Amino acid sequence: MLGIAYAHLIGASRQSIDYTNAAEAYLKFKIISSLDFTVDVQYEKDHTRSNKDNPQAWIFGGRLNVEF
């Protein structure tokens, strides 16, 4: 199973962040009927009101799910 998502988040009126763009993709592998493994990657970029420092990040993760 493959999942893809995108979000555009608007910052609060009195904060330094104007808006954030976030994207995510994951891939789920079924190992056996009660066990699966998911890998995930996310990218986020903030846009500040001053436009001087726009932090960004790549986030990687993995998850093991067991049903019983």
Q: Which two tokens stand for residue 23?
A: 């994207």
The tally of CA atoms less than 13 A away on the side-chain side of residue 62 is: 4
Residue 36: what pLDDT?
A: 97
Q: What is the block-wise mean pLDDT of the chain (68 residues), using blocks of 10 residues?
A: 96 85 97 96 92 90 96
Q: Which two tokens stand for residue 60?
A: 């990687």
* Cα 5–Cα 11–Cα 15 angle in degrees, nearest 5: 150
Torsion angle, alpha carbons of 46, 47, 52, 53, to 10: 0
Residue 1: what pLDDT?
A: 92
Residue 52: what pLDDT?
A: 79
For 56, left (φ over 0), alpha (ψ -120 to 50), or beta? beta
Residue 49: what pLDDT?
A: 84
Residue 53: what pLDDT?
A: 82
